[in-house]
Amino acid sequence: MHVLVSSEAMLGIALVELGLVVTPGPNMIYLVSRSIAQSRRAGLISLAGVGVGFGVYLLAASVGLATLFALVPEIYVTLKLAGAAYLLWLAWNAFRPGGNSVFATQELEPDRPRKLFGMGLLTCLLNPKIAILYISVLPQFLDPARGHVGTQSMILGLIQTAVGVGVNAIFVVTASSVAVFLTRRPTWMRIHRYLTGTALAAFAIRLATDKARPLATH
């Protein structure tokens, strides 16, 4: 039986997503802070919005988003640099005097489920890491010789979504416990804050200096 997507491609996209999701970014920051400040249930509702955001990118990739950026690279470069600037801003917030770890407890007004879902969706859609994953990275795993690349994009995107939602769910469920652990150990809290800032800055620099171009999927 002909297989549209190779096991190497499936493993590759899963590992890429795993590396991205464990690197602190907008999705993790929002989900963890909401879970700590409100409840695990609030964090999981927000995560549902993030999952739908993945689906929006997946649909766009399957119908040729990467093709648009391949044809108009200026749009791609602009979005990439804007995303890098946003990540550098998040890194500065972690490094600056008085900055907080993503797991630091903070006061947030409780939000209704609809707003939690909407903010999760918006955070995902504006997340430069996810945008670059679908625009530039995912097409690298497509093989036109295996069949319809739109279907391949769908399969690989579903794998990415499963990994992303699954790992983020672990962060949501364990956020409060990790926050308590770090609050009682200020040194560990500072170390986590600096590691977070370093990871965000490194990803931002890599994003800004990456010479790769999006590949057309059609």
Owner of token pair 């992303």: 164
Q: Residue 110 above 90 pLDDT?
A: no
Q: Interior CA angle at 121 toward 116 and 125, to 5°?
A: 150
Q: Residue 52 above 70 pLDDT?
A: yes
Look at 108 and 125; give whichever has higher pLDDT.
125
- Of 144, 137, 178, nearest to 43 by C-alpha is 178
What would the two tokens of residue 54 be?
């993945």
Task: Give dist(CA 114, CA 93) in Å, integer.
Answer: 28
Confidence of residue 100 (pLDDT cuts 50, 70, 90): low
Task: Give dist(CA 141, CA 4) in Å, integer.
Answer: 11
Q: What is the pTM of this model?
A: 0.70
- Of 18, 41, 21, nearest to 176 by C-alpha is 41
